[in-house]
Amino acid sequence: MRATAFAGASATALYSLYQGLYSEAVVSAVASAIAFAEAGQFKEAAECAKRAAEKLYEAAKEAFEKAKVALQRLVEIFVEAIARVLAWVDAHRAYLFLMAAVTAGLIALNAALDIYGWIELERLAYAALGVSVVPLADEYKKLREQHSDVLERLLSAGSPYEEFMNLVKDRDPEELPRPLQNLRRALASRKLRKAPEEKKNALVIATVALSRWLDENADLLREMFLAFEELREAWQRGSILCDGAIRFVKAREELLKAANELREELESLSAKYGLRELSVDGAEARQLAEATEHKLPDFSEASIGTKAYATVLGMIEGTLYGRIAATLLEAQQPADLLKWVPITAYTEAWEIGLKDVPKHEVRYLIAFMASLPPEMRDVLKGAVLVKSFESSERIVWELKTASGETLATLTFKRFESQGEMGQKRTGWVVVLEGGLAERLKPRLWEEEFEGRG
């Protein structure tokens, strides 16, 4: 209960101020608050939260006063920690608990709404890709922490496939982390039992490399998704802080660098083992990452290495293949994702619960921001985009400094065209005008960002 009550909460940082504060009384009060809230007794839950904060404060009053931490702040931290725990199971209960805390005078209404807003933002961010990043990251983190020696052995063995089979042959499958359980089942499938050892080696190596990449970059993926949802909400409000867009772009760029490192690792391992199946065709991977449902059958001959690289590219860009990959990875099926041809992966992901998330217009703003040279991002720090006009065909934003000076006008003009399969495709022409446009010359800032309708 201790770990559950405070996981992910900043209250744990305060415990370190004074040895022995992790008392049974405090833990009991928090556990009681959660139990009351789960039973729908939100007033009692709020009282327990207050009692827990008071017990902690009294236990080390001198330490908290020295650190300038007031009792009220401690109460707010406990309220937020309990709300986040409740939200893991039921976001509506978290909201009702926060409102009970407001009624009891434990926390201000605007603070409660801010907490709930972040809870909702995180849930939306996970939905944007169709994957909950935290449990996904936890499983791959466990794979690294508990079995790092195994992973290193697999990537350095003469035959990774034989090494893996020797590793698992006398072990209870349930003892293995779920990604390795999936790899074991994939290798035992009828299709792979008779496959050349080259393909089996490639699948083992790519599964380990992809799993390790997910563990190492989970926090960055989460940061990018949260930044995107923050921008999406700001777009709808009509006021966007450029710092948020820049934060998204930077996270995206870091992930693209990490994706390229995965590609280089796969290419290096392909050369080391002489495995063509592990090689990466960069152009094909990008096409697969961006493919529509109708195009997926065109990539049935893609190598395992190419599919691994397309997986991370698709996740970063939020494409259909990225959502397919995320759905299967959340189900702890990395080997299946890499083994199956893309159209089969799509069918399997759909049966699991593939989410179809429509693209939002804010992606065009992000595409524009990403195209700015790095030195111009410094100019935009603290700047804000304010919507000044909107119609079905045109949206006009004014780019202003913190002092209110207009730097430029950014106009999004809608267009429509027909796709290859006759489907309607919509997009925007983005035009930058004004003083900032002059400073950006000789580059031409009229670009077409096409989206699928």
pLDDT band at 357 (very low <50, low <70, confident <90, very high): low
Among candidate residues 115, 129, 47, the one with its CA nearest the CA of residue 81: 115
pLDDT band at 78 (very low <50, low <70, confident <90, very high): confident
Query: What is the rounded CA–CA span in Å between residue 128 and residue 104?
Result: 35
HSE of 349, CA atoms in CB hemisphere, 13 A: 31
pLDDT band at 284 (very low <50, low <70, confident <90, very high): very high
Report the chain's mean pLDDT, rounded to a whole number.
76
Tell me the per-residue pLDDT of 138-148, one tens digit each, with 9 for 90 and over: 556 666 666 66
pLDDT band at 338 (very low <50, low <70, confident <90, very high): very high
Tell me the per-residue pLDDT of 20-47, one tens digit each, with 9 for 90 and over: 344 556 667 777 888 888 788 888 888 8
Residue 113 pLDDT > 80:
no
Query: What is the rounded CA–CA span in Å between residue 278 and residue 266?
Result: 6
Residue 12 pLDDT > 70:
no
Query: What is the rounded CA–CA span in Å between residue 246 and residue 235?
Result: 15
Query: What is the rounded CA–CA span in Å between residue 349 and residue 370?
Result: 30
Query: What is the rounded CA–CA span in Å between residue 16 and residue 243?
Result: 33
Query: Residue 4: what pLDDT?
Result: 36
Tell me the per-residue pLDDT of 222-262, one tens digit each, with 9 for 90 and over: 778 777 777 777 877 788 888 878 888 888 889 999 999 99
- Cα-flanking dihedrals φ and ψ of residue 397, to 5°? -120, 140
Q: Provide the β-strand partners of residue 410.
A: 397, 432
Query: What is the rounded CA–CA span in Å between residue 380 and residue 439?
Result: 13
Query: 90: which 2 tokens?
Result: 């039921």
- Cα-flanking dihedrals φ and ψ of residue 326, to 5°? -60, -40
The residues, ordered by sequence, that sit 6+ positions from 232 with a Cβ below 8 Å of its Cβ are: 124, 360, 362
| Residue 366 Cα distances to 229, 243, 370, 404, 416, angstroms | 12, 12, 6, 22, 20
Average pLDDT of the residues in 350-356: 77
- Cα-flanking dihedrals φ and ψ of residue 210, to 5°? -65, -40
Average pLDDT of the residues in 349-354: 84
> Which range scores top for mean pLDDT: 78-82, 339-343, 368-372, 438-442?
339-343
The residues, ordered by sequence, that sit 6+ positions from 355 with a Cβ below 8 Å of its Cβ are: 127, 130, 323, 327
CA 220, 224, 227, 229: dihedral to nearest 10 degrees? -130
Query: Residue 315: what pLDDT?
Result: 86
Query: Residue 199: what pLDDT?
Result: 92
Query: Residue 22: what pLDDT?
Result: 42
User: 347 or 61: whose pLDDT is higher?
Assistant: 347
Average pLDDT of the residues in 415-440: 64
Query: 319: which 2 tokens?
Result: 């494409």
**HEC per residue, the chain:** CHHHHHCCCCHHHHHCCCCCCCCHHHHHHHHHHHHHHHCCCHHHHHHHHHHHHHHHHHHCHHHHHHCCCCHHHHHHHHHHHHHHHHHHHCHHHHHHHHHHHHHCCCCCHHHHHHHHHHHHHHHHHHHHHCCCHHHHHHHHHHHHHHHHHHHHHHHHCCCHHHHHHHHHCCCCHHHCCHHHHHHHHHHHCHHHHCCCHHHHHHHHHHHHHHHHHHHHHHHHHHHHHHHHHHHHHHHHHCEEEHHHHHHHHHHHHHHHHHHHHHHHHHHHHHHHHCCHHHCCCHHHHHHHHCCCHHHHHHHCCCCHHHHHHHHHHHHHHCCHHHHHHHHHHHCCCHHHHHHCCHHHHHHHHHHHCCCCCCCCCHHHHHHHHHHCCHHHHHHCCCCEEEEEEECCCEEEEEEECCCCCEEEEEEEEEEEEECCCCCEEEEEEEEEECHHHHHHCCCCCEEEEEEEC
Tell me the per-residue pLDDT of 382-423, one tens digit each, with 9 for 90 and over: 788 888 888 878 888 888 876 777 888 888 777 776 655 555
Residue 301 pLDDT > 50:
yes
**What radius of gyration, in Å, describes the C-alpha atoms of the chain?**
25
Query: What is the rounded CA–CA span in Å between residue 11 and residue 13?
Result: 5
Query: What is the rounded CA–CA span in Å between residue 213 and residue 207?
Result: 10
Residue 285 pLDDT > 60:
yes
Residues 81, 9: contact at Cβ < 8 Å? yes
